[in-house]
Amino acid sequence: MDERLVEEFCRIAGTENVLREPIKLLTYECDALPHLRQMPALVVLPGSAAEVQAVVRLCAREGVPFVARGHGTGLSGGALPVPGGVVISLARLNRVLDVDIPNRRVTVEPGVTNLEITKQVAPYGYYYAPDPSSQQVCSIGGNVAENSGGAHCLKYGFTVHHVLAVEAVLPNGELVQIGSPLPDAPGPDLLGLIVGSEGTLAVVTKVIVRILRKPESVQTLLAAFNTISEAGAAVSDIIGAGIIPAAVEMMDAVAIRAAEAAVHPNFPPADTILIVELDGPSSEVRELFAVVEDTCRRAGATTVEVAPDDTQRMRIWKGRKAAFAAMGRVSPNYYVQDGVVPRTKLPEVLGRIAALSQRSGLPIGNVFHAGDGNLHPLICYDERIPGQATLAEEVAGEILTYCVEAGGSITGEHGVGADKKDYMPRMFSDDDLDVMQKLRDAIDPRRLCNPGKVLPTPRLCGEVPGPYRQHPVEAAGLADRF
């Protein structure tokens, strides 16, 4: 990068907050999807919204692409740098600006971690609902970019349901407020567009979130089943009974083994376990929890273990939340997918995944949010064995095809990023994608803001090859409609 330009970045953020030595840039070459790597030209760590704005303005003036980055925990390469571009790290924008308990809202800078918000308000009996598994380290700015979910979004929704307003720098350098701390801001819901736009429409510099009163009661059970279809039937029966649990999570034998090896949650050795959590007023939880327990037994649960206290509840969740990282104990490498299927299609799609695992010879663990059909298949492979990494990617792609064919989505919470952009045509028509591109160009006409993410670039990179590309996804969707 031009020396004169580097000096300008240094004047904005301070020399100590501009990184250009390769050794320092290494940290930023990937997010939590390490197989996609790219060295940026420069990393800038602005210390205020004004500095972010100045950095974006300078990038806009010079035509330099930029990528905003929170704490780098993203699982889709959404913060993957651009060659010759700048990474704007928001790690220094980590102040909690306002904790307003009476009005149940908290104002933070984007570098504040998700869990920090709950920590700030827990003493008053409140919490911030979206709880991605990475909540101890992931940033709220990243959550806004990805519209992060978590185990409890079945009942409580995603980041988009909990953010009231943001302050953001648009790609042209304009600093704007989007949304409103008060209800019913007039006009189209730009906030809802920005949340989940994966850093391609704006760089968020401040976030106002709403917090919730802690429920009076929380009850969690862990049920073991001999088959995944029995567990699936239990989920259908619970929800069919008109109960919306706070969370319904499923783990298969591979995932259970991995979690046991890593954090020893003392899960029963079963083919499938189901974790069901209810929360709310004590009277409601008491009444409905009995129904859930009974439903699990009738569906064939071999054991049903009810967490008697918070410690035991945390033990169950620790096992569940550690499952991804734990795969490292049972497999040298793994690839996580994030496809979604309609809940009723879970047994069918899980069956196809099991057959695929057998056919490909790659073990696939399943840890997923069963309540909302969000799968997280963990495809195990060994990159030292020639061809296995490629095979794992192919298997991952095929699983996404199953999800789309079942009427689902290629991503429930991890985002499209750089990782899944070439799968977008499986879900959306050329027209759908063209309109999304035009929308993006309306906000970022020079294509400088996190380029190369979300939308495919078919003629340049070539789309994912294989027999699925021509699959009549729309036709499948239409067939479902009538």
CA–centroid distance for 459 within its chain: 28
Indicate which single residue of 181, 328, 363, 458 sits in contact with another protein (rule: CB under 8 A).
181
Do residues 416 and 81 touch, judged by C-beta distance below 8 A? no
Q: How far apart are CA 481 and CA 60, in angstroms?
A: 45
Q: From the DSSP assignment, how many helices (H) and strands (E) are in the chain?
A: 18, 18
| Interactions with another protein, residue window 374-393 (CB under 8 A) | 374
Tokens of 327: 């795969």
Q: How far is the CB of 232 from another protein (least distance, A)?
A: 11
d(CA 148, CA 153): 9
Binding residue (CB under 8 A) for another protein from 26, 50, 176, 476: 176
Query: Should residue 48 be labelled a site residue for another protein when binding is judged by CB under 8 A?
Result: no
CB closer to another protein out of 257 and 345: 345
From the CB of 76, what's the least distance to another protein, in Å? 9
Contact stretch for another protein (CB under 8 A) within 23-31, 59-67, 86-94, 173-181: 173-181
Give me the phi and psi of 99, to 5 degrees please: -115, 110
Collapsing DSSP to helix, strand or coil, 270 comes out as coil
Is there binding between residue 441 and another protein (CB under 8 A)? yes
Binds another protein by CB under 8 A, chosen from 22, 102, 386, 387: 102
Query: 220-259 mask for another protein (x: CB under 8 A)?
Result: ----------------x--xx-xxx---------------
Compare residues 257 and 453 and give the one whose CB is closer to another protein: 453
Of 18-26, 65-73, 113-121, 340-348, the window that binds another protein (rule: CB under 8 A) is 340-348
Q: Any contact of residue 452 with another protein (CB under 8 A)?
A: no
C-alpha 242/C-alpha 295 separation (Å) is: 12
Q: Does residue 409 bind another protein (CB under 8 A)?
A: yes
Q: Which stretch binds another protein (CB under 8 A): 61-69, 246-254, 386-394, 422-430?
A: 422-430
Q: Which of residues 261-300 bind another protein (CB under 8 A)?
A: 280-284, 286-288
Find the shortest distance in angstroms from Cβ 294 to another protein: 14
Tell me the chain's radius of gyration from C-alpha atoms.
23
Pick from 65, 130, 149, 232 the residue near another protein by CB under 8 A: 149
In angstroms, give the least distance from the CB of 443 to another protein.
Answer: 6
Binding to another protein (CB under 8 A): which residues in 358-377? 369, 372-374
H-helix or E-strand spanning residue 291: helix 282-298
- Spell out, one character per residue from 62 to 101, where the chain touches another protein: x when CB under 8 A holds, - when not: --------------------------------------x-
The distance of closest approach from Cβ of residue 444 to another protein in the complex, given in angstroms and rounded to an integer, is 10
Smallest distance, another protein to C-beta of residue 399, A: 15
Q: Least distance from C-beta 130 to another protein, angstroms?
A: 12
Among 323, 300, 313, CA closest to 231: 300
Q: Which is nearer to another protein, 7 or 98 (CB)?
A: 98
Residues 188-207 that bind another protein (CB under 8 A): 188-193, 195-197
In DSSP terms, which residues pair with 86 in a beta bridge?
A: 42, 66
CA distance readout (Å), 197 to 78, 230, 397, 439: 10, 37, 22, 11
Measured distance CA(120)–CA(100) in Å, rounded: 10
Report the C-alpha gap between 339 and 22 in whole angstroms: 35
Residue with Cβ nearer another protein (67 or 341):
341
CB-based contacts of 244: which residues, under 8 Å, 6+ apart? 154, 155
* Nearest CB to another protein, comparing residues 103 and 266: 103
How far is it, in rounded angstroms, from Cα 257 to Cα 250?
Answer: 13
328 binds another protein (CB under 8 A): no
140 touches another protein by CB under 8 A: no
Q: Distance from CA of residue 230 to its chain's centroid? A: 28
| Burial of 5 (C-beta count, 10 Å sphere; 0-12/13-18/19+) | middle
Residue 362 beta carbon to another protein: minimum distance, rounded to whole angstroms? 24
Angle of helix 473-481 versus helix 388-405 axis, rounded to 10: 30
353-371 exposure pattern, b = at least 16 Cβ within 10 A, e = fewer? beebbeebebbbbbbbbbb
Return the range that interacts with another protein (CB under 8 A); candidates 2-10, 11-19, 315-323, 405-413: 405-413
Size of the site for another protein (CB under 8 A): 95
| Structural element, H or E, at residue 165 | strand 163-169
For position 186 contacting another protein by CB under 8 A, the verdict is yes
Q: Which is nearer to another protein, 287 or 310 (CB)?
A: 287
Q: What is the DSSP secondary structure assignment for residue 187, as one 8-state letter?
A: S
Determine if 472 is a binding residue for another protein (CB under 8 A).
Answer: no
Identity of the amino acid at 193: L
| 13 vs 455, beta carbon nearer another protein | 455
432 binds another protein (CB under 8 A): yes
Q: Which residues share a beta bridge with 219?
A: 278
Return phi, psi of residue 135, to 5°.
Answer: -60, -20
